[in-house]
Structure 1
Amino acid sequence: MADPVAPKSQPPLGKKRAIQRCPNCDIRCDVSLFVEGSLARCGHCGVRFEVHREGSVPPARQQTPAKPPRAAVAPEPPLPRLEGFIVLERIGQGGMGEVFRCSRDSDGLLVAVKILTPQMAAVPDYVRRFGREAAAMAQLDHPGIVRLLGRGKAGQHVYIAMELIDGESLRTWAHRNRPTARQLAMLLAQVAHALTYAHARAVVHRDLKPDNVLVTKDLRTKVLDFGLAGLHAEGAQCLTQSNVAMGTANYMAPEQRKDAKRADHKADIYSFGVMTYELLTGELPVGKFPPPSKVVNGLDPRWDALIERCLESNPAGRPHSALELAHTLEALAGLAKAMQLAPRTRKNTRKSGVWSWLGLTTAIAVVLGVAGLKVSQDHKSPRPSLARALAKKPGPRFR
């Protein structure tokens, strides 16, 4: 049975009117017909409230302010019209433009289209930077990198079309799934292989972080948002605009913060280390931070060495390439054997030139020897599939 409604007027005949304000809309309601402690319903907003006669409103109620009116929600701007595509919905917004899910007219393929904002499209420098993003992506054809499908200008819109990924960010995936150390190592190894491919083509990401890595339903990673990538071989001065650092500050290498032109592949390795530490511990490596094995019980100490090397302030002290990271992570995942990355101190960082060449020579010899052995053994010991590897659950879980 519905609660009786407290009228806003008309007192009972011959009696003094008892008034109580609605705790929701603050309208004066006549509660003369209600007994103490009963429930009345506001005739204006419909909210139920307890009746208190003769001003005996509990202190808690007296202190509860009336709910402010809901702020009007601004309607979303209409979807743009784009020649060659049917724009279906807005799915994101980046630093340079909005991203839409679209159907390509020619074949009905669902794609992600990034359109430069009209304000930025009117600035020649931004348009050149947007084109440089497309040029960088056009060089990259790797399963671990979001593919560029086309670019162009339709009317006032400057756009690039990319493959549409059915997945979620690595940050969201890790938070939702609480991965083991082994699972995380396997996913990060994929990211390292994608970086290796890009770096070999002189493309530096410059803004690597968990939000710029997607994880698909079949547990494959896709690096995206090369909006801050630069063709290092062409020089970064035009891209960085008066040497302003580009990237998300917490993930940027020291040399990138000081001078964006100095950000080469070693800056991506530094960002990779920050990302790895954060995914392991849930915290950013800011100031004086503990090694991850001191935060996560039972964590393999090789993670400490990997992150310590990646986060060297001197780029020369970091791993030589993202491929080193991939091999180390595959070893941590139990899928391969690799040389352990030893912690590097400031003292031996200064001598890194000689030892780097010696280490590189040794590494080449070992790799060549292992490669020859592997050819004869591949048919006997097939590499475990990613899905099977990630399905196993050994190792510590993260908070």
Structure 2
Amino acid sequence: MAEPTDAKSQPPPQKKRAVQRCPNCDIRCDVSCFVAGALARCGHCNVRFEVQREDSKPPPPPAPKQPESPFPALDGFLVHERIGQGGMGEVFRCTRVSDNKPVAVKILTPQMAAVPDYVRRFGREAAAMAQLDHPGIVRLVGRGKAGGHVFIAMELIEGTSLRLWAHKNRPTARQLAKLLAQVAHALAYAHARAVVHRDLKPDNVLVTADLRTKVLDFGLAGLHSEGAECLTQSHVAMGTANYMAPEQRKDAKRADHRADLYSFGVMAYELLTGELPVGRFPPPTKVVSGLDARWDALIERCLELEPAARPHSALELAHGLEALAGVATPLALAPRTRRKAGKSGIWSWLGIGTAVAVVIGVVSLRVAQDHGSHRPSLTAARAAPKKPLRR
């Protein structure tokens, strides 16, 4: 029977020797006193080599940081993808967690959010949208701050811009009249509630798969009611230059619903002819062969330099366009304001069953200069090849 021994009398365990072969002569060298990465010298061939030891490896590098999400974090919303970007913010496709409703959330960019004026303007867009509940206008479903972001939540519309839709589908004049009549009805609804869009253009109108239009982006909207403060509290021209009414260029604060009618005329002309009515331009019938002459009257009225000479309301435009589309009994536009002798204007608005407009001589609008560029002028003098009209 073995006698117990005292643990203190036991010799200390010897460390395992670290051995590495010399890469030159293959002699086994003791590298126990070296750490990994140090240079040792072979005692046989005197060649230096780097020590590699499993028991003395440097600590592993820290795990790489997970890439940050490209989308902002919004409490109450699941952000799926970016679907649009504008001058003031970005638009994301989201799901509202409370009711699982798909929505479009417009977020003010951090740069804009740092400027109080832009934050106020962003709030004005929400204030304008909150007053509007119309099938032809994108609806507001929420607004606020979340995750450090200022946002507006709107109904999510599956569609494409009117500009892109027209480019892809090459619609007939009647099809355009139907779509533009919807836009005019939406404008009439907004104007009746003292909301002016101020930036109407084909990019701010969506067309759905069932050919319904939705007006969006009221970022420059203004309120114009008696006793109400204008939402655009600036005399600086705001909007997209090619679609902006002359009075809006001069004093944005004083522009009313008739500025939207001017923008509507620019949009209609562009969609019909593929060109902007800049400088001296021909009436649509001189560009598009077979086009109903009533288009000339409608567009010329909208593009009048004097607001008082334009149609009285967007509802008048809607009725005129419905007549062109053949979907309703036409209501003639109200008589235009009589001009002084020497100024242009002989196109008359014609309802169904009346004679077409006749060109006597050259019809032109005076050319006005604004910031060094000519304002639109309607003329039949310009020779341009006609585009065939799809029927």
Do they fold alike, i.e. is TM over 0.5? yes
Q: Which residue of 1 aligns with 2:232?
A: 239
Which of 207, 232, 241 does residue 215 from structure 1 map onto?
207
Q: Which residue of 1 aligns with 2:275?
A: 283
Cα distance in 1, alignment partners of residues 68 and 276 from structure 2: 35
Count residues with an aligned counterpart. Answer: 280
Q: Does 1:118 align with 2:110?
A: yes
8 Å Cα contact 2:103-2:154 kept in structure 1:
yes
The 3 A distance-change label for structure 1 pair 348 and 205 is farther
C-alpha deviations, 1:267-297, integer Å up to 9, x for none? 0000000000000000000011100001000
8 Å Cα contact 1:189-1:325 kept in structure 2:
yes
The 3 A distance-change label for structure 1 pair 324 and 90 is same
Runs of 5+ unmatched residues, structure 2: 1-66, 344-387
The 3 A distance-change label for structure 1 pair 106 and 288 is same
The 3 A distance-change label for structure 1 pair 289 and 141 is same
Which of 192, 198, 206 does residue 198 from structure 2 map onto?
206
The 3 A distance-change label for structure 1 pair 111 and 122 is same
Cα distance in 2, alignment partners of residues 191 and 292 from structure 1: 20
C-alpha deviations, 1:113-143, integer Å up to 9, x for none? 0011111112221111111110100100000
Q: Does 1:129 align with 2:100?
A: no
Q: Which residue of 1 aligns with 2:305?
A: 313
Shift of 1:235: 3.3
Cα distance in 1, alignment partners of residues 81 and 315 from structure 2: 38
Q: Does 1:294 align with 2:286?
A: yes
Shift of 1:86: 0.6
C-alpha deviations, 1:223-272, integer Å up to 9, x for none? 00001111123333x6243x111100000000000110121100000000
What amino acid is the match of 1:235?
E
Shift of 1:348: 7.9
Q: Which residue of 2 aligns with 1:107?
A: 99
- Within 5 Å, give how 1:16-95 maps onto structure 2: 78-95=70-87
Q: Does 1:146 align with 2:107?
A: no
Shift of 1:337: 2.2
The 3 A distance-change label for structure 1 pair 157 and 131 is same
SS in 1 for 2:83: strand
Q: Which residue of 1 aligns with 2:167?
A: 175
Larger helix fraction of residues: 1
Q: Report runs of 4+ in structure 1 exceeding 3 Å deviation.
A: 339-346
SS in 2 for 1:153: strand
Cα distance in 2, alignment partners of residues 336 and 131 from structure 1: 39
Q: Which residue of 1 aligns with 2:328?
A: 336
TM-score, normalised by the number of residues in structure 2: 0.68
Cα distance in 1, alignment partners of residues 68 and 255 from structure 2: 38
The 3 A distance-change label for structure 1 pair 348 and 116 is farther
What amino acid is the match of 1:297?
S
Q: Which residue of 1 aligns with 2:54?
A: none
Shift of 1:156: 1.3
8 Å Cα contact 1:305-1:343 kept in structure 2:
no
SS in 2 for 1:312: coil
Q: Which residue of 2 aligns with 1:261?
A: 253
8 Å Cα contact 1:308-1:344 kept in structure 2:
no
Q: Which residue of 1 aligns with 2:11?
A: none
Cα distance in 2, alignment partners of residues 108 and 78 from structure 1: 22
Which of 178, 181, 187 does residue 186 from structure 1 map onto?
178
C-alpha deviations, 1:330-371, integer Å up to 9, x for none? 000111222344777743899xxxxxxxxxxxxxxxxxxxxx
Q: Does 1:159 align with 2:151?
A: yes
Runs of 5+ unmatched residues, structure 1: 1-74, 351-394
SS in 2 for 1:115: strand
Shift of 1:312: 0.3
What amino acid is the match of 1:133?
E
| Identity fraction in percent | 80
Which of 343, 347, 351 does residue 340 from structure 2 map onto?
347
The 3 A distance-change label for structure 1 pair 346 and 284 is farther
SS in 2 for 1:226: coil
Cα distance in 1, alignment partners of residues 330 and 337 from structure 2: 18
Shift of 1:145: 0.2
Cα distance in 2, alignment partners of residues 287 and 345 from structure 1: 24
